[in-house]
Chains A and B, each alone.
Chain A
Amino acid sequence: MKRRSFVQASLALGTLGGTLSMVGCASTGTLPAKAKVVVIGGGYGGATAAKYVRMLSNYQIDVVLVEPNDSFISCPISNLVIGGSKTMGDITTPYDNLKGKHGVIHARDRVTSIDAAKKTVTLGGGATIGYDKLIVSPGIDMLWNSIEGLQAASASGQILQAWKAGPETLALRRQLEAMPDGGVYAITVPLAPYRCPPGPYERASQVASYFKKAKPKSKVLILDANPDVTSKGPLFKKFWADNYKDILEFRPNHKAIAVDAKSKAVKFETESDVKADVLNVLPDMSAGSIAMTSDLANVNKRWCNVNYLTFESTAAKDVHVIGDSVLAAPLMPKSGHMANSHGKVVAAAVVAQLSGMDVNPHPLLTNTCYSFVNDKLVVHVASVHQYVAAEKTFKTVPGSGGVSAAPNELEGIYAWNWAQNIWADTLL
């Protein structure tokens, strides 16, 4: 074959690539024995990585996405389902387009083990898939042992977390609906780092907003292991003081150590026990379970260290870890937007490496995180993170980023439009 440009070859493959993607149509039970890229986890990180490996390779590199669910349910905006102004349908998007439009092979399964030496993953259903590059985006897992009694109380449905959007999101909403007026909802916040720094405060605000309208004699308690609100603190605290003064109470330095599901009580390291009608107890968190069991979580056996230029694990060659499981660089939040950004950097790096190109030495990450303080008003935090070669990490660009001046309705509109656009960017 004579000299042929990358783009021309890619175009030639357009039709064939589409055919190839159907070979492993998971709904027929047929999966390829090998794919150039396998992605574990279809959240903001993994789904974005799968789509962008396809796009950035001009649909030349085949991708298998291993994700047990048929639809993506968004954590961002899920607090509004708990507050009652949005529904599960509003935050749910099927994975169909990743296959139909982008030719990603969707394996409806979980990865049970990774063999980094043989470069294979084994699925719960028994299939083994080889890879050239593995992208691991498993989100977070609960460290149940950090709070005595919590795992059993969670399994029985008595004390929920609802920190992975899904059935628990709705179950928590139902508990709040069933709670009599005059009751207490308490959320405990673990020590940072945890998934979605402002999430607990947004959720408490949503519940307070609901109580103010529907159950005005009820109370919201935030029992925080941290010494202060960990994200957007001044904005949240001012809004609470101005709007939820007699409803919401914030108590810092409350590190939960045990729960009793029967008496609906939480015990703390130093402070007195607290009882509540609806308990929402968040334990410490770690990298997702497949990262833990495959020894990718090599920082305190909790988070995954990576080469930030490519997100390749420092524990295993050709295995890249992204999203909440990654040991965060300074001021890098564990957020959906950030995971989507990771997904693009890793996609570009993997496409470059598989195509004989240089990896971008100056990757950039953005983050915009909106929090609803009631059903309409929103505050944000935004940041831009650049790779600093001398320190081999991402750092925020000096002078960039910031927060809202005050809660406002315009950002409420932008926040909802942000959600629509990032869901489309991740999945459609």
Chain B
Amino acid sequence: MRLKSPFVAMLLSGIAATAASAATPKDTINLHQRALAAMCANCHGTEGRTTDGSAIPSLAGMPREYMVAQMKAFREGTRPATVMHQLSKGLTEEQVQSVSTYFSNIKR
């Protein structure tokens, strides 16, 4: 399928330009939060959704307080783990709060 009209191209570039200039501070915060949460996706799936039947749990829709508590348990060694006791120690409290909030707001 080809782009039929130069008008459509103009419209597209117009919207893109407007969008770029209209980025708000909240958009920036959201982008950074989403990119940080993407660091979990290597193992836990894009947007926290793992492949079907995965032994690694999905994070999408996980209640925020539960995830924060699990990360704390991994860090303190009260929840046994294979890798998460080592990876959880690499995140600040603020980062844990941020990714937990992000995934709690994603639909399962």
Q: Smallest Cβ distance from A342 to chain B, in angstroms?
A: 11
Give the interface segment out of A83-91, A107-115, A379-387.
Answer: A379-387
Q: Smallest Cβ distance from A402 to chain B, in angstroms?
A: 4
Whether A23 pairs with B31 at a CB distance below 8 angstroms is no
Whether B82 pairs with A418 at a CB distance below 8 angstroms is no
Partner of A402, one of B31, B40, B46, B86: B86
Contacts of B15 in A (CB 8 A): 9, 12-13, 16
With an 8 A cutoff between CB atoms, is B73 at the interface?
A: no
Whether A422 pairs with B38 at a CB distance below 8 angstroms is no
With an 8 A cutoff between CB atoms, is B28 at the interface?
A: yes
Whether A399 pairs with B42 at a CB distance below 8 angstroms is no
Q: Smallest Cβ distance from A49 to chain B, in angstroms?
A: 11
A345-B35, A364-B36, A420-B54 given as contacts; is B42 within 8 A of A340 (CB)?
A: yes
Whether B87 pairs with A382 at a CB distance below 8 angstroms is yes
B6-32 with Cβ < 8 A to chain A: 8, 11-12, 15-16, 18-24, 27-28, 31-32
Mask, A12-29, CB within 8 Å of B = 1, is 110010011011010000
Q: Smallest Cβ distance from A108 to chain B, in angstroms?
A: 18
With an 8 A cutoff between CB atoms, is A241 at the interface?
A: no
Chain A residues bordering chain B, tally (CB within 8 A): 68
Mask, A398-427, CB within 8 Å of B = 1, is 011110100010110110011011101100
Mask, B28-64, CB within 8 Å of A = 1, is 1001101110111111111000110011100000000
Chain B residues bordering chain A, tally (CB within 8 A): 45
A384-B90, A425-B41 given as contacts; is B24 within 8 A of A6 (CB)?
A: yes
With an 8 A cutoff between CB atoms, is B106 at the interface?
A: no
Assembly CA distance A418 to B50 (angstroms): 10
With an 8 A cutoff between CB atoms, is B95 at the interface?
A: yes
Whether A422 pairs with B42 at a CB distance below 8 angstroms is yes
Q: Smallest Cβ distance from A314 to chain B, in angstroms?
A: 22
Contacts of B91 in A (CB 8 A): 364, 384, 397
B positions within 8 Å CB-CB of A: 1-3, 8, 11-12, 15-16, 18-24, 27-28, 31-32, 34-36, 38-46, 50-51, 54-56, 82-83, 86-91, 95
What 4 A-B pairs come out closest when comparing CB atoms?
Answer: A384-B90, A400-B90, A348-B35, A9-B19
Provide 22 A-B residue pairs closer than 8 Å at the C-beta atoms, listed in order of the A residue. A4-B19, A6-B23, A6-B24, A6-B27, A348-B38, A355-B19, A355-B23, A357-B23, A357-B31, A363-B35, A364-B36, A364-B95, A384-B87, A397-B90, A397-B91, A404-B82, A410-B82, A411-B82, A414-B83, A417-B43, A422-B43, A428-B46
